[in-house]
Structure 1
């Protein structure tokens, strides 16, 4: 029973990591809210790129 379908990749961890890194960097710069939003933006871009790459892979 060989299956050619591959499990989809999950990017939630990368999004969470970017959110935390952005908020932590923002704390050191004195603007945690802006850091959180920047981390969300970067994380979403990575998430979309991962989704597109995974769609092409299957």
Structure 2
């Protein structure tokens, strides 16, 4: 019988959402909302990937 791991995995969804929103707002303030949104998406994906890799290394 296999036991389930007792640790709770980390989640990076908040980082992704927050970076998209911050990027869109910052881009809108500069007159380029789409560029800001895409930059925020790229940063959020990198942060989420980093969280996933760190979580995977912990386990």
Counterpart position of 2:14 = 13
Question: How far did 1:4 drift?
Answer: 5.7
TM-score using structure 1 length: 0.91
CA distance in 1, matches of 2:5, 2:45: 29
CA distance in 1, matches of 2:9, 2:46: 18
4+ residue runs of structure 1 moved beyond 2 angstroms? none
Aligned length: 56
TM-score using structure 2 length: 0.89
Counterpart position of 1:32 = 33
For structure 1, the 5+ residue unaligned runs are none
Question: How far did 1:5 drift?
Answer: 2.8
